[in-house]
A and B are shown apart, each in its own frame.
Chain A
């Protein structure tokens, strides 16, 4: 029974990782860039929820508004970052864009520290009154239900956009071959912006869910979950959307089970150990496709 309980805890943590990992993997799939500032988008999203629910109280309506507003704001921030920081570097060597991404990440973190309404000190995130449900000896909290349900809903929505809409088709085409897609009349710049916006919106949702489960917000809060989600994206196969979801859930469960049955001291070691093993054994990740290098 304890095993099932721990798997459930892992699922709830993993669903947040999966949402963040989706942002990494989509951007990578299209522009081949690891967007290290993605974890900090999570922080901005969480602060959005913090301000809205702090001002208007916690109720199903305000949480819905928080999601919509935070996701919208972060989508815009995602586009701004892409246009100002990454677009000028699109034809530069990949390592330049990567270093820029690390720079943007530090800018957002330290910017948050300096801004008077955010500041360096942790703040309490407003949450619902605690409520638990019991099923056959397994305890599930309202927050866990909300986290898992909203994550799955958003992932289903993303799946729909990617596979069944016109813009999704364009995204897939761009990811497959950017030049060919361009020749077919797809507006590449628009698709890239849309991808960043979509990724950032998911990151913002993940931020609110993360802060609801672990009710504290501070400018550095996105760093560790961002890093773990990156591991999840690589584990599932970077560039692959189902891979990111699978990777996120697997990593969350692996981490929780390590804490629960081996030792809590090893949890982070296991998470990053998985990254090393996967890179050695199957560098493309579980669901990643083998990309042949064309000369």
Chain B
């Protein structure tokens, strides 16, 4: 009896853990936060409806909430200036909690129930990849603000993005490590269950070796892991000059402390755009680290200054790069609808390709083959200001080759 009960229990435990594993740690049951009712569909009546899918709760909610606010801000501005095609623009927000399954559900809801003509999202690569095929099939214009994985736009000509690719980002960080930091050996930590993390790591490693690096050692972990001591102890043995952490800020802040705890106190930490927001989520252990990003909020650029001051007055925080990208994405999509002169997806798609304007995150012009913008990369250095607060200082730019 006892044995049988325990065996039954094991089955229950295993299946529960499996389910939780798929969910990636966080799960709720209701899609939250839909602004506005769904009575007007697509472009009928006097509104044009677009949708956005963002991780509003869960591990990287700081990205999702700021992006949502930035999109709403852009929509309000557009409506103040008369809307699009003489109609009001409306945005329906869906939360995916950074899990691909929920992204698919959100996508289906936006397309079938709200009948949106375009979608801004998803935010992360793994979530975007879950819906690109369907967006292409259903002819829904999709513009991901920040999914840097190269394969995101592969699904077809209805898929766009407002950020650069990892195949540009990874090598830029490698170039920076070799040329500016004079690094010879590197170590890499990456999440082997995350498309973004793996893609970024591969491109960094390749370029680092090409540019004369002597050695790159790598170690991996899975999403949701908290203990990295074993992997870091292994990396420490190789005594690298730089350590590239290919992940998002919550994992980076968790790992940074353990890096210093295992005694790697000299190694310079490097990262990609997933580090955005690290300054609000980590301590002294990341001071002196560098990461590549889409924009630096303390820039003298006119567009950047306008955006930052507007955002700051409204929401009382300095917007992160993902907010800037989401803001740009909204304008790109709205401009294209205006230019197309109709809500026919075929025409909007063609108009999107003609985009050639300066936005907050730089001048954007799409590569006609990949529908990825060609633009410069910003390196950010983490510094401590006089009050002891961490700030994202300007660390340099790297132009597209």
Chain A residues packing against B (C-beta within 8 Å): 2, 5-6, 9-10, 12-13, 34, 94-95, 98, 102, 110, 113, 120-122, 124, 127, 129-130, 132, 134, 139, 141, 143-144, 213-216, 218, 220, 223-224, 227, 230, 234, 238, 255-257, 259-260, 264-265, 267-268, 272, 275-276, 279, 283, 291, 293
Task: Verify B229–A220 contact, CB threshold 8 A.
Answer: no
Closest to B220 in A: A264
Question: B2 contacts which of A127, A227, A293 (Cβ < 8 Å)?
Answer: A293
With A230-B13, A238-B6 given, can you name 6 additional A-B contacts, CB distance below 8 Å?
A2-B233, A6-B230, A102-B12, A130-B285, A214-B226, A279-B7
Is B26 in contact with chain A by the CB < 8 A criterion? yes
B→A interface (CB under 8 Å): 1-3, 5-7, 9-10, 12-14, 16-17, 20, 25-26, 28, 57-59, 61-62, 192, 219-222, 224-227, 229-231, 233-234, 236-237, 250, 253-254, 257-258, 260-263, 265, 281-285
Whether the pair B6, A132 counts as a contact (CB closer than 8 A) is: no
- A215's nearest neighbour on chain B, judged by CB, is B257
Q: How far is the CA of A147 from the CA of B359 in the complex (A)?
A: 50
A255 to B250, CA, bound (A): 23
Residues of B within 8 A of A218 (CB): 26, 59
If A132-B263, A264-B220 touch, does A13 touch B26 (CB 8 Å cutoff)? no
For A113, give the chain B residue with the smallest CB separation: B28
- Interface majority SS on A: helix, strand, loop or mixed? helix
Across-interface contacts of A227 in B (CB, < 8 A): 13, 17
The majority secondary structure among interface residues of chain B is: helix
Q: How far is the CB of B23 from chain A (nearest CB, A)?
A: 9
* Closest Cβ neighbor of A223 among chain B residues: B20
Inter-chain contact B226/A216, CB cutoff 8 Å: yes
Instruction: Answer whether A234 and B257 are a contact pair too, CB < 8 Å, given A227-B13, A264-B230, A272-B14.
Output: no
Using known A-B contacts A121-B57, A256-B229, determine if residue A216 contacts B253 with beta carbons closer than 8 Å.
yes
Question: How many angstroms between the C-alpha atoms of A122 and B250 in the bound complex?
Answer: 8
Asked whether, in the complex, the Cβ of A139 is within 8 Å of the Cβ of B13, the reply is no
- For B281, list chain A residues within 8 Å (CB): 124
Which residue of chain B is the closest to A216 with respect to CB atoms? B254
What separation, in Å, do the CA atoms of A255 and B220 have in the docked complex?
A: 14
